[in-house]
Amino acid sequence: MPDTSPRHIRLTSHAGGYGALPIRWGAPTAAERGPIVGTTSKPSHRNVIGTHSGSYSVYRALAVAAGALSREHKPDLTNTSPTDFIGPYPQWTDPARIVSLDPWGARVAEVFAGEIAAGYDIRPTIAVTKAHVILPEVIDALQKGRLKADGTVLTPGGAAMVTKAAIEPVWWLPGVAQRFGCSEADLRRVLFEETGGMYPELVTRSDLEVFLPPIGGLTVYIFGNPQDLANPQVELTARVHDECNGSDVFGSDICTCRPYLTHAIEECIAGAQRGGVGLVAYSRKEGRALGEVTKFLVYNARKRQAGGDTADQYFARTECVAGVQDMRFQELMPDVLHWLGVKKIHRLVSMSNMKYDAITQSGIEVGERVNIPDELIPADAKVEMEAKVAAGYFTPGHVPDTDELKQVKGRGLE
């Protein structure tokens, strides 16, 4: 007799009158896949490790501790459903294609209405809304004539019309392990040990295959019709951007993060206006996912080293402090593109070879790569840019050699 459910175990605890529902990752329909249940009020219903809201679960716990929030509170989802239809796409039911988010996460109130009515606390892990975004750099582009208002994609006042989605991480551990080339058992053990013992269930509950990690998620901004993202005939301009608070918000001149982001938004608006669609995916991976403390330590080490802040030592200084050059692991990044149904990116506004490789290796075609215009690179950011170009970043221009890298030098700490 074949084992029809080799991995998943129907839990039999019935403290709440019924037990946990199974998750069959990648199953052909939402009903067969089953809901993600991370509730803390009915432990017998849980079918995941961890809980909702990423890191903010800690604040939720504080709210309960402070007596401000009832632990029994269930969200009232009235009127919260997505403003736009996204999917389902064939990519949603391919267990290898999406492993770090729940493709049904925006539609739980609809696709798991029966389970919610039966008393399960099922929460959206994705929310889709509409917004008007007003960036000074876009207003500048309007004033200088690089962009024109059309009243649809861009207003005369400089507001761009977007659909946006916030996405929390939902990790299917067997698939995540496969992406990183390790066994699921090793991934679970290392996640437990190297966080100082977070979630022992990672090692004790191999029947629970889904983990809601306490990390930041991502946000997508869509310029134009979201359904066009899945149509390879419609020109797609896209940037996948990793958070850099110091530049994205405060405009630090040591890197190109905000200038490249706002350039991408300008390209997305222009692309949508000529009948295409634009996409910015923004991931909470501050300082290459090393965190901002490490990032600032590296800044000091770069600017104080013998010979000054030169491009040839750029990666070495990060590695001395952090042990690696980068912890962003673009391996999981393409999941959001598959959630949106993307098959082809006509214009990828990124020079990163790591992002390019991850996207193309996941089966998405990439056409043109759009570099940041030279005039948008702050003087002090040339160190980073030249070091990256020498290390394999896409450039339509010259790739510096070792001697040239030594000559590219940033400001000291003064």
Q: Write out the catalytic residue numbers.
A: 326, 328
> In angstroms, rounded to a whole number, what is the distance separating the alpha carbons of residues 28 and 358?
25
Work out which of 193, 365, 368, 401 binds its own copies, going by CB under 8 A.
193
Q: In this structure, which amino acid lies at residue 323?
A: G
- What token pair was written down for 298? 């590296």
75/367 with CB nearer its own copies: 75
What is the sign, positive or negative, of the torsion defined by CA atoms of 185, 191, 193, 198? negative
239's CB contacts (< 8 A; 6+ apart) are 260, 261, 264, 267, 268, 279, 280, 281, 348, 349, 350
Q: Which two tokens stand for residue 408?
A: 């590219």
300 lies in the site for its own copies, by CB under 8 A:
yes
Using CB under 8 A as the binding rule, whether residue 154 contacts its own copies is answered as no
> Residue 40 CB, nearest distance to its own copies (Å)?
5
Q: Which of 167, 170, 268, 358 binds its own copies (CB under 8 A)?
A: 167
Verify binding: residue 200, its own copies, rule CB under 8 A: yes
Q: Of 134, 119, 175, nearest to 7 (Cα)? A: 175
Q: Which residues in the 301-360 window bind its own copies by CB under 8 A?
A: 301, 304-305, 320-324, 327-329
10 lies in the binding site for its own copies (CB under 8 A): no
Among 80, 143, 361, 407, binds its own copies (CB under 8 A): 80
138 vs 389, beta carbon nearer its own copies? 138
Size of the residue set binding its own copies (CB under 8 A): 124
How far is 354 from 110, CA to CA, in rounded Å? 37
85 touching its own copies, by CB under 8 A: no
- Asked if residues 372 and 393 have their Cβ atoms less than 8 Å apart, the reply is no
Residues 6+ apart with CB under 8 A from 234: 228, 275, 276, 277
* Range 226-255, binding its own copies (CB under 8 A): 245-246, 248-254
Tell me the window of 8-16, 227-235, 355-363, 406-414 that interacts with its own copies (CB under 8 A). Answer: 406-414
Q: Does 15 bind its own copies (CB under 8 A)?
A: no
Distance (Å, whole) CA 123 – CA 74? 9
